[in-house]
Structure 1
């Protein structure tokens, strides 16, 4: 793992290694439950696919709203008190959410779990700030590529195991995810050092910045940074199509079981790891961070359109080698964004990004979930949400072409 590390004395390769492993286990926890969650919702709704899609919209929207308001707060807290406590608290919230999903007797309890998870949804954003603390600017795109690889690697085993456990009992994957996440918290409490020394922290917590509107002030502080944030939002909005409709779409159109869904996600994880581990560095070296963004966005558009048109499972899967190149977009984008702020603002930047992800989580489920429910009820164009995702990514591509040129000069 060739990641050029920066100078904070409490951090180094060992610290980055823990963050990498933490990202893997967190992604694996998500992977365990993703193939099962729609089936659990269908169980609560009497097997109605359209109703399950609508409830999925409600759950994702509530989580997104909580994340929208919590993201800036958690980002500023991490700039004030350090990354370590925020990361551990966020992982605790995620573990509690999984535990509630395992034990919930009703949809109301599932919804409470989503609220807790959304309110503490700083695990990945704080991990990104941690990475920015311990890497040099010129090595950040590669480091963020490794973080993306960690997320993909977590999906190698998680969905497949989740699908198999779900065949035994629909609640079992949630128990496994809760156990994995909470063990990670305990491990981190003893092992993880702080990456942000006191002299590099902000002097005080500013409540004026601790809200979605206030957090945008940082993004508006530089013209190119605001444009890059727009790319981030559009990409996150497009990616929301997967948690919103993927399982329901493939089970409806191709009759995939949870096991098949888990195996497909595992295959996607293999390709994602390959791209983010072995291609990000060479692509950035050859084409720059902007070039990585453009290639990633273009591949994502092709993938969405292909998946929306694919009439069979085999044709659907044939696009995987192309669509996996979408993994080039985020490392290049994060590399450009983190260069534009100082060490004491990395948490605020990632908090603002988390708020944008929360906004995408509010808009995306309604856009994709309700369009899919409409398509199912009218028995027309089941790939409609994927085409809408392609449009959002096309807008991101246009913005990357325009904004990325100026931003890449820094």
Structure 2
């Protein structure tokens, strides 16, 4: 690994990248509990109208990630991971300050759109991990990044709710402080991971997902199978943040506290699997069987959700569903091995961009499924239908991955 700037060790640099991802997820989670109230305060509308505005903000966030993840990934291939990551986390902190000080809804819209752009830095973060990790250890390393997502999913909303009870804008100031502190720490300790000989010129024509994939498939056509699998996995996984709370209310009559606790357990279980179980069991299972186990866990948990009539049975389903943490990281590892070191940023940008499409189309699909299969007007009472759909998508993920894996191994 290059030692271009920064004085920390490679282990410290890994921790800084982990912190960048963690703080990004924490910031997203911290502001989520207070966002509805802030929207109502700025627009003077009721909660139902504010929910509609929030939906459009979420879609705008995802569109920005779709557009800018390939740009940021390509920039990191040209200038290195360090300057791109530091710039992104610095802009993230300034963006949270913008939202904290927002005097009207227009400022808040601008802030959320900028958050989508800075959130696209995940592509450079994952490329960094690919740079510094041997191919055979990348699945576990990517799993550690998944641990950051899980911690953010659990801790962020809880911390945001606590801070928001003091002042509605305090979570934004807190998220800004965390991001700016991380930028300062990274400036001194984050090393560069991409050596000069592995850099390539930036080309705007390749700075979008579809053009990038056209180029990358020239190195290995298996890229298309893996990116398709990862995109479909995002579509399957988005069911939890998008619709699970509404499903729990419709199916089990959960109140707000029960929903919050259950969602925390979903995030905690996934984090433990990705951060710990992957490292312990992946050497014995192998990447193929790990993905199979994860998809099986998704499908079995859906059956358990459908059968559950007691609260403890719901938590059994959550525990089984946490096996989904075995799915994404091995596919990312296979995908990173399909291209050379000069193209890791471009590849990760394309992956994040395609995955953001799921954030746009997934929530309305699952919402429609819940609406049609629950409530007094439903022809068939099956509130778990969104989870059934997500399980079917997960099976497609497995088929796409196995096809790509067999082609890659045949090539090598």
TM-score, length of structure 2 as denominator length: 0.85
Matches within 5 A, 1:15-26: 15-26=13-24
1:274/1:265 CA distance change after superposition, 3 Å: same
Instruction: Answer with 316-325 or 164-173: which moved more.
Output: 164-173
Measured against aligned partners, the alpha-carbon deviations of 1:40-78 in whole angstroms (never above 9, x if no partner) come to 567765132xx5554443222212222111111111100
* Native 8 Å contact 1:92 1:185 kept in 2: yes
Aligned twin of 1:292: 290
C-alpha separation in 2, matches of 1:272 and 1:366: 24
1:387 Cα offset (Å):
3.1
1:256 Cα offset (Å):
3.3
Aligned twin of 1:256: 255
* Native 8 Å contact 2:331 2:401 kept in 1: no
C-alpha separation in 2, matches of 1:310 and 1:115: 40
* Native 8 Å contact 1:93 1:121 kept in 2: no
1:24/1:144 CA distance change after superposition, 3 Å: same
Is the partner of 1:65 in helix, strand or coil? Answer: helix
Tell me how large the CA RMSD over aligned residues is. Answer: 2.9
Aligned twin of 2:395: 394
Measured against aligned partners, the alpha-carbon deviations of 1:88-107 in whole angstroms (never above 9, x if no partner) come to 23223433444444444555
C-alpha separation in 1, matches of 2:53 and 2:222: 38
1:27/1:223 CA distance change after superposition, 3 Å: same
Instruction: Answer with 75-84 or 25-34: which moved more.
Output: 25-34
* Native 8 Å contact 2:210 2:350 kept in 1: no
1:260/1:182 CA distance change after superposition, 3 Å: farther
Matches within 5 A, 1:323-362: 323-362=321-360
Matches within 5 A, 1:97-136: 97-104=95-102, 107-136=105-134
1:404/1:79 CA distance change after superposition, 3 Å: same
1:288 Cα offset (Å):
1.7
* Native 8 Å contact 2:24 2:119 kept in 1: no
* Native 8 Å contact 1:38 1:52 kept in 2: yes
Aligned twin of 2:407: 406
Which residue of the other structure, out of 209, 212, 216, is the alignment partner of 1:212?
Answer: 209
Measured against aligned partners, the alpha-carbon deviations of 1:202-241 in whole angstroms (never above 9, x if no partner) come to 1x11121112321221443323221111110000112222
1:289 Cα offset (Å):
1.4
* Native 8 Å contact 1:57 1:244 kept in 2: no
Any gaps of 5 or more consecutive residues in structure 1?
A: 1-6
1:373 Cα offset (Å):
6.1
Matches within 5 A, 1:88-167: 88-104=86-102, 107-167=105-165
Matches within 5 A, 1:172-211: 172-202=170-200, 204-211=201-208
C-alpha separation in 1, matches of 2:339 and 2:194: 15
* Native 8 Å contact 2:229 2:401 kept in 1: yes
Measured against aligned partners, the alpha-carbon deviations of 1:381-404 in whole angstroms (never above 9, x if no partner) come to 544433332232222122233333
1:112 Cα offset (Å):
2.0
1:25/1:358 CA distance change after superposition, 3 Å: same
Matches within 5 A, 1:240-255: 240-250=238-248, 254-255=253-254
C-alpha separation in 2, matches of 1:316 and 1:176: 34
Aligned twin of 1:271: 269
Matches within 5 A, 1:47-62: 47-48=47-48, 51=49, 53-62=51-60
C-alpha separation in 2, matches of 1:336 and 1:74: 22
Report how many aligned residue pairs link the two structures.
Answer: 400
Is the partner of 2:123 in helix, strand or coil? Answer: helix
Look at both structures and tell me which one has the larger radius of gyration over its CA atoms. Answer: 2
* Native 8 Å contact 1:57 1:366 kept in 2: no
Measured against aligned partners, the alpha-carbon deviations of 1:142-167 in whole angstroms (never above 9, x if no partner) come to 11111112322334432322232334
Which residue of the other structure, out of 25, 44, 50, is the alignment partner of 1:27?
Answer: 25
Is the partner of 1:319 in helix, strand or coil? Answer: helix
Matches within 5 A, 1:214-229: 214-221=211-218, 222-229=220-227
Is the partner of 2:68 in helix, strand or coil? Answer: helix
1:200/1:206 CA distance change after superposition, 3 Å: same
